[in-house]
Structure 1
Amino acid sequence: MKKIQQSFVIGCSVLALAGCGGDKIVSPGTGGDIIVNNPTPTPTGTPTPTPTTGTVTPAGGCPTIAATGGLRDDGTITGPTGTYRVCVLPAKIDASTRLQYIAGVLYAMDGRVDVGTDGGAVASSADTNVTLTVEPGVILFAGDATNPNGESYLVVNRGNKINAVGTADMPIVFTSRDNVLGLATDASIGQWGGVVLLGRAPVSDCRDEVPNKADQAQCEQELEGAAVTTLFGGNTAADSSGTMDYFQIRYSGFTLTGGSELQSLTTGGIGSGTSINHFMSFNSSDDGMEFFGGTVKMKHVIAVGADDDAIDVDTGAKADLQYVITKQRATGGDHLIELDSPDGDYVLSALPRTNLRIANATLLGGSTVSTRTMRLRGAADFSLVNSVVDAGAAGCLRIDEVPTIDGTGDGPPKFSSVVMKCGATPFEGGSGVTAQQVADLFNNSTNTDSTFTVALTSGFINSDAINGYAVYNANTNLSSFFDVVDHIGAVKDAADDWWAGWTCDSATLTFGDGTGSCTRLPVY
């Protein structure tokens, strides 16, 4: 398999081109720069490359696109990998548009970029039906010469779609201007907003501060911190916001307003018709990904270095994830999994109830500021099966509120074929739940071990001891979405290389195999 090159192509051709004239959807993060230590054990594989003089040469101009106003030629930008033509997207993509992969071209977002116009909670003839297509190998970065990073983010509005499908050899990368310039490091976070997908699937609590008691179409929630009201939600469970595959989102999480930051990937009410796979979040200043309502189904998911939670699920989201790797930085990160539904008076009345089901995860802690790996609350439903947890010095599991642990909804949280290595306080309870109740729930589940010696090769690949552990049939017992597997954890062995080629390396976690450093742009 061809991999992203660590030595860069000499003499890129110049193409002759046409000229170019939380309950809210944002949650708080901690912010600040983070110092990263090497993981233990130090991963094997290809080391982070030593910076060299770039060899990319700029394209002669920007291509033509269908959106009104086209692409703005912003001149060139130079970083460690070479010099590129900068083609700035219009503030609104109002017609179906394709971003071509062209050697020597980078696409830029100067502030918020909308894909289409919000079509409301119910599909109608007024929908703009815009699709943004992004070709394999395309790199989009935030900011221009006058707005270096700033409040730049991409929003796919209801009734519109994104079709961003990379490949294992040529992933799509969303990143910051500092990453292009070579100024971003393994400690950098929060340099731009992120990617937001909005749809018409149900959410559990509405923008008027009342719960959704009957999955009514008029229940909508809004993107907090945006300069204009931006809504999501509806009553179309199978709604589609498009397809994203083989892509990275780096250095996201810029603060839109005080205490309100976006995640790398934020979804709001997206439906089951949306497809998201092979996604890597790197160094988000908030969550690696957060799902607000809707239906999310993902396979092959990686979140490295999130400053808050790696995965956060809320507001009635129904989320199924398989093959998941998460890893915290040494001095950043809160939980690896945070799960919630509406609290207080709404805890049992709001519909749908949040339900997160994860199979084949390898959840790696190691943060000196995190106190626990997983936190469940708000009567949300949860299943974790065929998974490995190494919490480092932190605790493994906290459950808050009696309805979260009792038999309401789909019953208490479910664990099967899960091994954990925890700190001195493995289990915690809160708001009426005791630590002993949490311990009993986990330890009395099927094939679980909270004192397992977790040994991993290259930092994330199973050892023989892990591969010998009993396996749960998630395909039969949870959903046909889940593949039938013969191992627990995200990666069985070195031959199980679903992570190879489309990821990037850092001091926090190294994938090797020619993937290249997260601090540098890939060159194809």
Structure 2
Amino acid sequence: MKKLLLSTLTIVALTLSSCGDDDKAAIIEPLATCNDGIQNQGETEIDCGGPNCQPCSGAVASTCNDGIKNGDETDIDFGGSCAQIITVSGEITVDTTWEAKNIYVIAGKVVVGKGKTLTIEPGTIVKGQKGSGSLASALIVQRDSKINAEGTADKPIIFTSEDDNISVGQTAGTNLDQNQRGLWGGLIVLGRASGSFKGDVAEVQIEGIPADDTFGLYGPGDALNDADDSGILKYVSIRHGGALIGEGNEINGLTLGSVGSTTVIDNIEVVGNVDDGVEFFGGTVNATNLFVWAQGDDALDIDQAYSGTIDNAVVVAGDSSDHAFEVDGPEGSTTGSFTLKNVSIFGNSVTPNGEYADYRSNAMGTTENIYAVGFADGKDVELDNNQVAQNYIDGLLIFKAWEVVGFDNSIFVEKVGCSENCDDDDDSNDVNESLIITPLFTDQAADWTTQVTEGAATVGADVSQFSWTYANAKAGLGF
């Protein structure tokens, strides 16, 4: 705004003696009014500066329903002191919307009721309370319910810890980093798509939820639906989770149990989780654009004959990370085959931590177009038991187009010797199983693996999809 040197209200009027059509309307410049919530007459900001205001004084307090951005609001009637802190616990029994102008605090297990939908607006911040065991906090979308959490690149939906000082309108706080783990639970979505479970049962209890909580059941039950729809998760960042509920039993960042193919899983980030980043227990859902940073266990974990496609993912190992991929196969007679493709995995050679991958217990599926860099010497890709090696020989476990910085065939390992409980697919005769001693996995790895220099890969993820992530901003990954 141009500075007008007016000491009083000035009215400029032209009075012409003829031809009224040429008359000009009076031009009125309003006085600066220091408490009107508007930037006017020389003010340098709303109610701040200019000839009729003391510099940066007299600013109004937030008025949360006046249609003006004022006080500490981050937008019109939004954020700052206008934000409410809303604590949620127990079952959500009606269709509910969580609004971006508020912060929602999960206290214990929050469960979306059967037949109900939880909608979360873009930019909403959800914080989980501390607690372990039965008090661990988690949001659970049980079978026959839905979540519609559709953020945007500019306004992701953020799940984080109550300890995080992030505020409404922000995408990151300042007091936590990727090494703060286990400060709350995580997000669990369950459905009725197929899975392969021990004893060929039709439903099982998801890990991370006590057995007597029936909202933790997943699998078809009496209503198989591979096209089951649990809703939408899009541009969602999940941080600092993985609370312990029992010895060796933590909640994953995002857990998907028998989730069906109509569900949308796209642009998901998991940062600093104690257990796995994203784990698929059976199901047919496809997932695109997954980013996992500094998980405590495995980044992408596949179990129980998961039969969808994971396309375009990045894994960045932290100082406590285990495998980029951990893949298990069917546990019952039902079989299924996964596809994992277009993935870039970054090891941590400084700590050093992070293995490439571990294929176990009858794993079946295809892993292709993988770029791997930064892994320390001695880290490997494993086939962990006889049945997995046999699946590789039989063409049920397929590897295609891996490009590895510092490629050496020694990174590929067949653990085909057998000792007690080494083979999860049949515990009854582990010790007596015959050994597969032909090292086909190691010998044939050169057929599908190429050594490349860092930055020269022709396979792997389209990392530009992850420019929106907290990890990119925090770690300066340059995506």
Residues 493-518 of structure 1 deviation map (CA, whole Å, 9 limit, x = unaligned):
xxx732123444476x42458xxxxx
User: Which of 106, 113, 117 is the equivalent residue of 2:103?
Assistant: 106
| Equivalent in the alignment of 1:499 | 466
Match of 1:452 in 2: 452
Q: RCO greater where, 1 or 2, for CA within 8 Å and sep 6 or more? A: 1
Output the CA distance in 2 between the equivalents of 1:241 and 1:512: 33
Larger-Rg structure? 2
**2:275 paired residue number:** 286
1:489 aligns with 2:477: no
Alignment of 1:3-82 (within 5 A): 14-16=63-65
Residue type of the alignment partner of 1:245: K
Question: 2:258 — aligned with what?
Answer: 269
| Structure 1 residues 134 and 510: CA distance shift in structure 2, 3 A | same
Given that residues 89 and 108 in structure 2 are in contact (C-alpha distance below 8 angstroms), is that contact kept between their aligned partners in structure 1?
Answer: no
Q: Is the 8 A contact 1:245 1:277 kept in 2?
A: yes
Secondary structure of the corresponding residue to residue 404 of structure 1: helix
Aligned residue for 2:303? 314
- Is the 8 Å Cα contact of residues 328 and 364 (structure 1) preserved in structure 2? yes
The correspondence for 1:404, drawn from 368, 385, 388, is 388
Deviation at 1:204, TM superposition (A): 0.8
Q: Cα gap change, 1:84/1:410 in structure 2, threshold over 3 Å: closer, same or farther?
A: farther
Aligned CA-pair RMSD: 3.3
SS at match of 1:497: helix
Structure 1: which amino acid aligns with 2:190? Answer: L
Matched, 1:338 2:323: no
Q: Would the aligned equivalents of 2:355 and 2:375 in 1 still touch at CA under 8 Å?
A: no
**Take 1:313 and 1:380, find their aligned partners in 2: how far apart are those partners?**
9
User: Contact 2:392/2:441 (CA < 8 Å) preserved in 1?
Assistant: no
Query: 1:435, 1:398 → 2: CA distance?
Result: 15
**Residues 219 and 151 (structure 1), Cα distance of their counterparts in 2 relative to 1, 3 Å cut:** closer
Opposite residue 174 of structure 1, the aligned amino acid is F
TM-score normalized with structure 2 length: 0.72
Q: Which amino acid aligns with 1:131?
A: T
Aligned equivalents of 1:385, 1:410: Cα separation in 2? 17
Amino acid at match of 2:124: V
Unpaired runs of 5+ residues, structure 1, are: 1-8, 18-53, 62-75, 117-127, 213-217, 457-464, 468-487, 514-524
Aligned length: 384
- CA change 1:129–1:501 in 2 (3 A) is same
| Alignment match, 2:93 | 94
Q: Are positions 1:173 and 2:161 aligned together? A: no
Pairwise CA distance, 1:139:
0.4
**Equivalent position SS for 1:440:** helix
Cα distance in structure 1, aligned partners of 2:344 and 2:128: 31
User: Retained in 2: the 8 A contact 1:167–1:502?
Assistant: no
**Map of 2:171 onto structure 1:** none
Aligned equivalents of 2:383 and 2:89: distance in 1? 45
Aligned to 1:190: 182
Whether the 8 Å CA contact 2:393–2:440 is kept in 1: the answer is no
Of 128, 133, 151 in structure 1, the residue corresponding to residue 119 of structure 2 is: 133
Question: Residue type matched to 2:273 in 1?
Answer: S
The structure in which a higher percent of residues are helix is 2
Indicate how the Cα distance of structure 1 residues 158 and 94 shifts in structure 2: closer, same or farther if over 3 A, else same. Answer: same
Alpha carbons of structure 1 residues 251 and 243: separation in structure 2 relative to 1, 3 Å: same
Between the aligned partners of 2:468 and 2:122, the Cα distance in structure 1 is 13
* Equivalent-residue separation in structure 1 for 2:188 and 2:60 (angstroms): 36
Report the Cα distance in structure 1 between the residues aligned to 2:457 and 2:185, rounded to whole angstroms.
38
CA-to-aligned-CA distance 1:71-103 (integer Å, 9 cap, x gap) = xxxxx9xxxx9895311124211111111221x
Using the TM superposition, give the Cα deviation of residue 191 of structure 1 relative to its aligned residue in structure 2, in angstroms: 0.7
Distance 2:465 2:348 in 1: 24
**CA shift in 2, pair 1:219/1:422, >3 Å:** farther
Shift of 1:489: 1.5
Pairwise CA distance, 1:183: 3.9
**SS of the residue 1:295 aligns to:** coil
The SS at the match of 1:110 is strand
Q: Which residue number in structure 2 is paired with residue 47 of structure 1?
A: none
Contact 2:371 2:404 in 1 (8 A): yes
8 Å contact kept, 1:166–1:246: yes
TM superposition shift of 1:490: 0.8
Tell me if the contact between 1:14 and 1:58 (Cα under 8 Å) persists in the aligned partners.
Answer: no
Q: Report the Cα distance in structure 1 between the residues aligned to 2:218 and 2:263, rounded to whole angstroms.
A: 14
Deviation per CA, 1:111-147, whole angstroms, max 9, x where unpaired?
A: 110001xxxxxxxxxxx31010001000000128x99
**For residue 52 of structure 2, what is the aligned residue in structure 1?**
none
Q: Structure 1, residues 434-468: CA drift from partner, whole Å, max 9, x if none?
A: 694322232223xx21x332x13xxxxxxxx324x
Distance 1:279 1:428, change over 3 A: same
Q: Which amino acid aligns with 2:127?
A: F
Q: Is the 8 A contact 1:339 1:375 kept in 2?
A: yes
Match of 2:441 in 1: 438
Equivalent residues of 1:12, 1:56 under 8 A apart: no
CA contact (8 A) 1:334 1:369 kept: no
> What is the SS of the residue equivalent to 1:406?
helix
2: distance between equivalents of 1:324 and 1:362? Answer: 6
1:172 Cα offset (Å): 0.3
Is residue 2:343 matched to residue 1:361? yes
The whole-number CA distance in structure 2 between the counterparts of 1:90 and 1:371 is 36
Q: CA deviation at 1:414?
A: 1.8
Confirm or deny: 8 A CA contact 1:203 1:351 kept in the other structure.
Answer: yes
Deviations 1:258-292 (A, max 9, x none): 22101100011111111100011101111011111
Task: Sort the Cα spacing of 1:252 and 1:59 in 2 relative to 1 into closer, same or farther, 3 A.
Answer: farther
Name the SS of the counterpart of 2:165 in structure 1. helix
2:291 to 285, 302, 311: 302
| 2:308 aligned with 1:324 | no
Preserved contact between residue 295 and residue 320 of structure 2 (Cα < 8 Å): yes
Gaps of 5+ in 2: 1-45, 47-58, 167-173, 418-435
**Matched residue of 2:380: which SS?**
strand
Cα offset for 1:390? 1.6
Q: Where does residue 151 of structure 1 map in the other structure? A: 136
Give, in whole Å, the separation in 1 of the partners of 2:343 and 2:206. Answer: 31
Deviation at 1:296, TM superposition (A): 2.5
Counterpart among 320, 323, 334 of residue 351 in structure 1? 334
CA distance in 2, matches of 1:269, 1:15: 43
- The residue that corresponds to 2:9 in the other structure is none
Hey, what does 1:29 align to over in structure 2? none
